[in-house]
Amino acid sequence: MIGGNESCTAGPVPMSYLTCLTHILGEWTGVEHIEDYLSYAVYLLWVLFPLAVVLLLPGVLIILFYTSILFLHIYKRKNELKEAYSNDFWDGAKLMLATLWDGHGRIWHGYELHGTENIPEGPGLIVFYHGATPADYVYFMARLLIRNKRYCHVVADHFVFRLPGFKLLLDVHGVLHGPKEECVSALKKGHLLAIAPGGVREALFSDEMYTILWGDRKGFAQVAIDAKVPIIPMFTQNVREGVRTLGGIKILRSLYERIRLPIVPLYGGFPVKLRTFVGEPIPYEPNITAEELTAKTKAALQSLIEKHQKLPGNIFRALMERFQMQKKED
């Protein structure tokens, strides 16, 4: 066996393997002093590696989503489904995917869920702050299904339904487009329903101050009034420190307002501590207006943010919170 520090020969002068390979590469390319270029390339790789990591880590969530989709197709094929989807048929698949996502939340973020006693046994509308990605909601949904045997539907932005390959995943999980009538119907059937009124705009253009960006949206309040259900505010601590956006660039904001597609770059994927807090429900009041209920809900969500989030958000602090004593989970 040849040792790692032995030499190869190129002519009469013995050389180390690294020098030998550099010499051969230089002769093959015809570039003189190629070792200088290689040293510079290695230096650039070392400098840019952290940048590459923070840009690529958010892609892990995309991989998990498509892994979930692949699992559903395998599940469907294995069970030879020939008729329309039934809730009973997909129960096993939902539980398996919940286990997958809950495992990711536990390992990567030390995910915790608090306040589930505030979720009513019957229907209710959960209103949550939208981080740069919906990962915290997926962790919440998975933990709720595993721990409490409750399933929560969600309203998603229209662009989600145009993502390639997502149709089966959305159909199985009963994700809604968001028409008021469809939401009211789901609640009247006794389901839990979640919505982030800020939507994609809040996800992309809120900041480390956790500014609530709802604009004039109050349709969710009218849904709760029409369905006669309580509203439950929900917030996830450090959700904006896990993944950040470049939404502060004005031209990107202008471009989004024109085409309404989430083309703002994301970075991060940091393993920060995530804790979801479910607030006290806002009960149904027959004489309240949608404007008044919207204001009450926004105030309740803002209160959760101020109570559980140190402002402005800080990535390093959120990382360090992984090593603090954990709060007791529900």
Q: What is the pLDDT of residues 191-207, one digit of tens each?
A: 999 999 999 999 999 99
Entry pTM: 0.80
Q: Which of 109, 130, 153, 173 is catalytic?
A: 130
**Averaged pLDDT, 268-288:** 95
Question: Residue ranges of the domains in the chain?
Answer: 46-321
Architecture of domain 46-321: 3-Layer(aba) Sandwich (3.40)
* DSSP reduced 3-state for 112: strand
Residues near 221 by beta carbon (within 8 Å), at least 6 away in sequence: 231, 290, 291, 293, 294, 297
Question: Distance (Å, rounded) from C-alpha 252 to C-alpha 310?
Answer: 27
Say yes or no to pLDDT of 1 above 50: no
Residue 15: other Cβ atoms inside 10 A: 15
Query: What's the pLDDT at 92?
Result: 86
Least confident of 8-17, 149-158, 160-169, 285-294: 8-17
Query: What's the pLDDT at 22?
Result: 65
List pLDDT tens digits, range 12-45.
445 565 566 666 666 666 666 656 655 656 655 5
- Average pLDDT for the chain: 85
List pLDDT tens digits, range 293-304.
999 999 999 999
Query: What's the pLDDT at 18?
Result: 58
Question: Could you tell me the CA-to-CA distances from 149 to 116, 118, 152, 218, 227 in Å, in that order?
Answer: 12, 15, 10, 30, 23
Q: For 29, phi and psi rounded to 5 degrees?
A: -90, -20
Helices (H), 10-58: 17-29, 34-56
| Active site (annotated) includes residue 130 | yes
**Averaged pLDDT, 83-105:** 81
